[in-house]
């Protein structure tokens, strides 16, 4: 059997196994073990523990649980509500101001947590009821939060980009910087659509019924600025060469914990245990996925699947943008069925040789891949953000949420096209600051 035929079998078997609801780590491990035994015999089982633990010995992985705890600490406080309220006070006279405020709050909260579900939950619990009370349609209110939450995996510090950096062996600091301008661009595209559709539907100044004094506009900033300073400091430490990702993440997590305790009075042992428990749970899940995905990649490589796919794509006599379009389509389809972590760790070893041989920048591609992962978060049947929003507002049906999110999906497609035409949007900042 040819390597490409084996690769097709692996693809369908993986989709089938993960479609049963088996945890991703166990599903990837089971598929890898099954194909290793079938094609390489039982002797290949001896490589299983060595491969997994060798993959998890990368010191860069220490940054992962630190960033997770950093996000869990912020998500446990009222920072999301304060962000929303502060932006609502400043933008209350702008057409569609509440939707725009929610999208802005999602963007800023994403930078604090690096988690899409946490952003949806934190901003959506306060923002969606307020928007609906002020006359905004349910589809726009829920769709804006579902899409805004996806910014959590693009705006740094991003756990998704850490995974891509580890899998592709590219600089995490450069990836963080590469996500800044595309993140701002995508946020502005979301806001532009929200402004337009609010104006078209007549929900223009429904939330301009009061005047906020300058004191009221500024009173929440002392609570929020320390958290924003930590994010800026972490990114600066990374691109300035002051600290490694692990060191910067450790300091950032410690500072966020201290600020949550001091500013929001989250000091009870039960509250702190909740933060550490959630951080440990998510970190353990991600590390298990990483370990088994490395075994999955080893299996693909040992069966010559990775090399054969790369050679087949490289041998195609087509323009390199046709190849990029095919890769984007592959990522979009995969995002409909698999979560971002699984897709990145499964596909990056296969796609990196193709990307580099076609002359594309791996840092730039990391941004393209991340936006594709954002699309997957609001695309059925496994769009995680859709189900988070549905849990917050059970009276709003899933098709209504999807209807509201669809225009924001088109904004993401526009962002990908703009990045293809103007790659400097992603590559300029890392080159300017890191050389």
Q: Residues 364-419: pLDDT tens digits?
A: 999 999 999 889 888 876 677 888 888 888 888 888 999 999 999 999 999 999 99
CA distance 386 to 142: 9
% of the chain with per-residue pLDDT over 70: 94
Which segments of 46-148 are extended strands (E)?
none
Nearest to 144 by CA among 376, 373, 391, 378: 378
Whether residue 111 lies inside any domain: the answer is yes
Alpha helices in 240-361 (DSSP H): 245-264, 269-302, 305-314, 320-335, 340-357
User: Would you say 332 and 375 are in contact if contact means Cβ atoms under 8 Å apart?
Assistant: yes
Whether residue 309 lies inside any domain: the answer is no
Burial (Cβ within 10 Å: 0-12, 13-18, ≥19) of residue 273 = exposed
345 against 414, higher pLDDT: 414
CA distance 354 to 386: 32
* Residue 426 pLDDT: 94
* Residue 204 pLDDT: 54
Whether residue 199 lies inside any domain: the answer is yes
Whether residue 351 lies inside any domain: the answer is yes
- Domain interval for residue 109: 61-287+316-434
Whether residue 356 lies inside any domain: the answer is yes
Indicate the number of domains in the chain.
1
Kindly state the average pLDDT of the residues 27-44: 85
* Residue 67 pLDDT: 80
CA distance 290 to 270: 30
Q: Residues 187-230: pLDDT tens digits?
A: 999 999 998 888 887 765 545 556 777 787 788 778 878 888 88
Whether residue 113 lies inside any domain: the answer is yes
CA distance 171 to 347: 18
Q: In this structure, what DSSP letter does residue 1 have?
A: -
Whether residue 424 lies inside any domain: the answer is yes
Whether residue 293 lies inside any domain: the answer is no
Q: Residues 83-124: pLDDT tens digits?
A: 777 777 777 777 777 888 888 888 888 777 777 887 888 788
């Amino acid at each position: 059997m040819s390597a490409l035929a084996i690769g097709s079998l692996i693809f369908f078997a993986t989709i089938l196994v993960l479609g049963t609801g088996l945890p991703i780590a166990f599903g990837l491990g089971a598929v890898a073990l099954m194909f290793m035994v079938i094609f390489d015999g039982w002797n290949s089982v001896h490589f299983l523990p060595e491969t997994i633990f060798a993959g998890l010995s990368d010191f860069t992985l220490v940054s992962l649980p630190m960033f997770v705890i950093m996000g869990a600490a912020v998500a446990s406080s009222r920072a999301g509500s304060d962000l929303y309220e502060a932006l609502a006070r400043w933008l209350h006279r702008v057409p569609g101001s509440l939707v725009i405020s929610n999208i802005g709050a999602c963007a800023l909260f994403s930078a604090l947590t690096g988690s899409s579900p946490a952003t949806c939950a934190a901003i959506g619990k306060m923002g969606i009821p307020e928007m609906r009370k002020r006359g905004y349609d349910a589809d726009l209110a829920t769709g804006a939060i579902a899409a805004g939450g996806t910014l959590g995996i693009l705006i740094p510090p991003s756990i998704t980009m850490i995974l891509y950096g580890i899998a592709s062996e590219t600089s995490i600091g450069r990836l963080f910087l590469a996500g800044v301008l595309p993140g701002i661009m995508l946020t502005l595209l979301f806001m532009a659509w929200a402004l337009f559709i609010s104006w078209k539907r007549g929900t223009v100044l429904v939330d301009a019924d009061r005047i906020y004094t300058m004191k009221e506009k500024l009173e929440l900033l002392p609570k929020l600025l320390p958290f924003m300073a930590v994010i800026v400091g972490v990114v600066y430490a990374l691109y300035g060469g002051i600290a490694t990702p692990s060191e910067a993440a450790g300091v950032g997590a410690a500072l966020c914990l201290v600020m949550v305790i001091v500013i929001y009075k989250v000091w009870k042992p039960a509250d702190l245990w909740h933060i550490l428990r959630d951080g440990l749970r998510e970190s353990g899940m991600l590390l298990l996925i990483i370990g088994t995905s490395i075994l999955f990649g080893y299996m693909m490589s040992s069966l010559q699947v990775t090399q054969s796919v790369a050679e087949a794509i490289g041998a195609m006599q087509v323009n390199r943008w046709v190849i990029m379009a095919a890769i984007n389509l592959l990522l979009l389809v995969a995002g409909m069925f698999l979560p971002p972590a699984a897709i990145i760790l499964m596909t990056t070893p296969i796609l990196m040789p193709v990307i580099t041989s076609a002359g594309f920048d791996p840092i730039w591609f990391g941004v393209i891949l991340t936006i594709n992962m954002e699309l997957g978060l609001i695309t059925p049947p496994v769009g995680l953000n859709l189900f988070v929003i549905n849990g917050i507002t059970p009276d709003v049906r899933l098709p209504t949420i999807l209807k509201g999110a669809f225009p924001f999906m088109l904004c993401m497609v526009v962002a990908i096209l703009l990045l293809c035409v103007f790659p400097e949007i992603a590559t300029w900042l890392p080159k300017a600051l890191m050389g």
